[in-house]
């Protein structure tokens, strides 16, 4: 600690980042490269996307570079409140996924698509492990 400066005045990653969340870029991509690197296995599988359980994620960030579509974000980024709520809600409904699966055959067709939540989001569970 810097002498004379309270730790409260030195915001660190740990103070600001509470969890990582998956956003709509995952929808219909579902590459699942993220699940195999997570040290605490906190991914859950929906029919066409994954979510992270916010209370289980330890904020390590290891999964972030694994995702080819940049779908995993720290919840400190602005505008992610909707996705934090969605990750929390469905992590409690969908089954656990800890192993990689083949991504959908048409996944690449959707990598750059916008508005995927309104078009395709499914509340149905995936198959899990």
From candidates 20, 21, 30, 91, binder to ligand F3S by CB under 6 A: 30
Per rule CB under 6 A, is residue 50 in the interface with ligand F3S? Answer: yes
Q: CA 55, 115, 30: angle at the middle one, nearest 5? A: 50
Interface size with ligand SF4, residues (CB under 6 A): 13
The item of ligand F3S, ligand SF4, none sharing an interface with residue 40, based on CB under 5 to 8 Å by kind, is ligand SF4
- Residue 87: both structure tokens together: 């990750």
Per rule CB under 6 A, is residue 72 in the interface with ligand F3S? Answer: yes
Q: Choose the stretch contacting ligand F3S; rule: CB under 6 A; options: 9-17, 21-29, 85-93, 119-127.
A: 21-29
What number of residues does the chain have? Answer: 129
Per rule CB under 6 A, is residue 109 in the interface with ligand F3S? Answer: no
Q: Are 33 and 100 in contact (CB under 8 A)?
A: yes
From candidates 66, 74, 88, 98, binder to ligand F3S by CB under 6 A: 66
Q: Can you tell me whether residue 7 is helix, strand or coil?
A: helix
> Of 22 and 91, which CB lies nearer to ligand F3S in the complex structure?
22
Q: Are 15 and 9 in contact (CB under 8 A)?
A: no
Using the structure block, give the residue that is written with the tokens 């067709």.
109
CA–CA separation, 120 and 49 (whole Å)? 10
Residues that bind ligand SF4 (CB under 6 A): 20, 37-38, 40, 42, 52, 57-63
């Amino acid at each position: 600690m810097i002498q004379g400066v309270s730790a409260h005045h030195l915001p660190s990653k740990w103070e600001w980042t509470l969890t990582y969340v998956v956003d709509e870029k995952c929808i219909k991509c579902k590459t699942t490269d993220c699940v195999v690197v997570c040290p605490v296995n906190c991914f859950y599988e929906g029919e066409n996307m994954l979510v992270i359980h916010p209370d289980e994620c330890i904020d390590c960030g290891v999964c972030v570079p694994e995702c080819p579509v940049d779908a995993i974000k720290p919840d400190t980024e602005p505008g992610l409140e909707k996705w934090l709520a969605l990750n929390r809600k469905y992590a409690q409904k969908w089954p656990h996924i800890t192993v990689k699966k083949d991504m959908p055959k048409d996944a690449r067709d959707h990598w750059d698509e916008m508005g995927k939540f309104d078009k395709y989001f499914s509340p149905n569970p995936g198959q899990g492990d």
